[in-house]
Each structure stands twice: as structure tokens, then as C-alpha cells.
Amino acid sequence: MQSAQTWGETVRLLVELGATAAFALSGVMEAARKRLDAVGVCVVGFLAAFGGGTLRDLLLDRRPFFWVQHVEVLWAVMALCVLAMLFLRQRHFRLTERAIQWPDALGLGLFAATGVHQALLLQMPALVAVLMGLITGVFGGVLRDMVCNEIPSAFADHRPYAVCAFVGGWVYVGMWQAQAPGWLALVACVGITAGLRALALWRNWQLPPWRV
């Protein structure tokens, strides 16, 4: 039993680290596309990586924050920002909005899963847990776009984004209540959320815009 719990905690930590890296990369790419300087690139990368998780921890009154508890993650994100800038400059990678969407979709799924997980551990109601997953997955990208002087893509591009995290969160809650293994619930939530977002991008699914 103890080994199963340890394995589940390891999977959860890896998922959170993966989400942090994916969103940091999306932030670096967006900042580079906006031609910010090195400091600006790192700031946007940090906001994208830690914004959603920090807001989640604030709302759940959870201390210490994830990035305070794991200081090595700060160093890793800083290194990722520097390496990504060097790679993009040397390879002359074409920084299009479409290129940024793929690490963003992966980060959305990973962060949605960790947000739901943390809320359920604190015995929050199912709806609150799903909303915590949504906030964790969406808010980092919102901060990234706002700092880069863009209307957040989560609200403006009409392709399902927050809806994907909402659906994935309910998948996690359902598997949690069915007492499925924790790692399986995490993987299912990530797969559903990121998969739906990828399908929305690929098939160009659109939510109806507000019509005056």
C-alpha cells in the first residue's frame, strides 16, 4: 500500500514538472515572437509556468507554494528559458502562433490534472476540484498573453480551451470516486484534456462567438 502511494505521488510530481516545462516553453516562444529581451522572455516563461499553480495554491490556502517547496524547479525553468532562447536563435525556428499551441495544449492537460488532484486531496467538493483544475491549467496562459499585450487566447480564439480542461477534470473526479488508481486518473485526465485541445486545433472546432 505504501509503495502504491509513493508511486502515485511520484507520478503526480512528474506530471506537475512536465506541465511546468510545457507552459514555460510556451511562454518563452510567445515572448520571443514578441521580440522581448532576455529578461522579458524569462519573466513571461516564469509567469506561464507558475501562474496557474500559484493561484490554485492561494485559493486552496495551500502552503508552501509548489515552486517554493521545490526550489530546484525554479532553477530548471530558468535553465529551460536560457536554453530555449539559444536554440531558437541558432536554429532560426519559425515562431508562429500555431507552434506555441502544442506545448500549451500539453501543459493545459498536465496542469488540469494536478489542480484537480490537489483539490481532491483537500476533500473539496467535486465542482470545486474541477474548477481548481481549470484555473491551474488556464491561468498561466492568460498571464502569458496579457503580459505580451494579447487578448488571452483562452477567451478569444473560439476554439475550445477551458472547456477541454473542464471535461478532463470531470473524468478525473469520476475515476477518483470509482476508486481507480491515482496514476490512471492522472493519465486519463491529461489524455482527455490535451487530446480534446489537439483535436480542436486540428479540426478547427469553434465555439459560437457572442453576436450583437
Residue 2 has pLDDT above 50, yes or no: no
Half-sphere exposure for 66 (CA within 13 Å, toward CB): 25
What contacts 121, CB < 8 A, 6 or more positions away? Answer: none
The predicted pLDDT at position 172 comes to 95
48 and 150 Cβ atoms separated by less than 8 Å: no
The whole-number pLDDT of residue 1 equals 47
Return the DSSP state at 60.
T
Per-residue pLDDT tens for 96-151? Answer: 556 667 777 888 888 899 899 989 989 999 999 999 999 998 998 899 889 998 88
| Res 165 pLDDT > 90 | yes
Would you state the cell numbers that stand for residue 179, as one nine-digit string?
A: 476508486
